[in-house]
């Protein structure tokens, strides 16, 4: 995701400390992989920001990673900032996805102590916001679970370590209202994307929380050849269909192009309209 998302809320408008358990959470705290059964009720949220975008008649939601600190270092959450931002959200969408990507959250890559500190700070942010405005709905991105493409696609021996790293983050899932994993298109390999998405969504469901993944109708920025290009309509259709059938609770349609006029003839937009009409 790109930054400067506070503007989303402008468009949408007209506390306690937490102590982590000393031990690593046990594996049985999450359920085994649930059977993928589509939910009867499916929630679709609109976080698409364009100029002159026709209304999809969907509830709005925003993502934000910059309103929880007083300074640009973004290391120590500030209570007043978190409480003030919670009040601000309640003036508009009343729901927010916390987007914090710069702290260490993967025990495969960082010491457990650092990841525990990340969890402590994330949960402190959530607790302050919930204490200030109990009616606010808070989701979490990009963890838990940890987004991982290559492990499910090409490294079966790494699955256990990935699952352990996901389970380590369980305390965060207990504090938020939903988790918002991302299942973006990193490559044009649709079979690879399907393996990646299916595995990551299955991991998300193990937490026993509402799961509302974020989908993006563009190729991911990490792909130098394809980055930011719009997905073909049939690829986007595959993504929407896969999410719908995965057993999750809904999805978030996301893009941030406030200076771009939406063209209603875009293939992915036409697929979006059809999907919303059937599933919202």
CATH 3.20.20.70 is the classification of domain 41-279: yes
Render pLDDT for 86-140 as a digit per residue (tens, 0 to 9). Answer: 999 999 999 999 999 999 999 999 999 999 999 999 999 999 999 999 999 999 9
- Look-up of token digits 């408008």: 13
How much of the chain exceeds pLDDT 70, in percent? 88
CA distances for 179 relative to 71, 97, 266, angstroms: 27, 8, 29
Render pLDDT for 199-221 as a digit per residue (tens, 0 to 9). Answer: 999 999 999 999 999 999 999 99
DSSP assignments along 184-236, one per residue: -B-SS-HHHHHHHHHHHHHHHHTT-SEE--EE-SBB-TT-TTTTTPBPPHHHH
Specify the pLDDT at position 71.
87
Specify the pLDDT at position 34.
55
How much of the chain exceeds pLDDT 90, in percent? 85
When the pLDDT of each residue in the chain is averaged and rounded to a whole number, the result is 90
DSSP assignments along 52-89, one per residue: TPPP----B-EEESSSS-SSTT--S--HHHHHHHHHHH
Render pLDDT for 40-49 as a digit per residue (tens, 0 to 9). Answer: 999 999 999 9
220 vs 229: CA distance, rounded Å: 8
Domain locations along the chain: 41-279
What six digits make up the tokens of 177? 């209202």
Bridge partners (DSSP) of residue 98 are 64, 140
């Amino acid at each position: 995701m790109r930054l400067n998302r506070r503007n989303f809320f402008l468009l949408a408008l007209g506390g306690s400390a937490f102590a982590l358990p000393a031990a690593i959470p046990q594996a049985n705290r999450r359920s085994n992989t649930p059977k993928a059964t589509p939910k009867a009720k499916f929630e679709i949220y609109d976080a698409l920001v364009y100029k002159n975008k026709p209304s999809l008649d969907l509830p709005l939601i925003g993502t934000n990673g910059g309103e929880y600190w007083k300074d640009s270092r973004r290391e120590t959450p500030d209570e007043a900032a978190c409480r003030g931002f919670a009040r601000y959200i309640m003036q508009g969408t009343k729901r927010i996805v916390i987007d914090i990507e710069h702290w260490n959250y993967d025990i495969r890559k960082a010491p457990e102590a650092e990841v525990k500190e990340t969890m402590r700070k994330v949960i402190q942010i959530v607790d302050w916001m919930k204490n200030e405005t109990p009616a606010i709905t808070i989701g979490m991105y990009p963890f838990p679970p940890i987004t991982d493409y290559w492990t499910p696609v090409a490294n079966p021996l790494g699955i256990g370590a990935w699952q352990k790293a996901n389970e380590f983050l369980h305390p965060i899932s207990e504090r938020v209202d939903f988790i918002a994993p991302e299942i973006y298109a990193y490559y044009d390999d649709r079979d690879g994307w399907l393996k990646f998405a299916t595995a990551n969504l299955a991991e998300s469901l193990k937490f026993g929380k509402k799961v509302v993944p974020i989908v993006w109708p563009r190729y991911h920025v990490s792909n130098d050849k394809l980055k930011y290009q719009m997905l073909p309509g049939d690829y986007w259709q595959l993504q929407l269909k896969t999410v719908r059938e995965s057993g999750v609770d809904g999805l978030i349609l996301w893009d941030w192009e406030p200076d771009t006029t939406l063209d209603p003839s875009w293939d992915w937009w036409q697929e979006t309209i059809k999907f919303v009409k059937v599933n919202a």
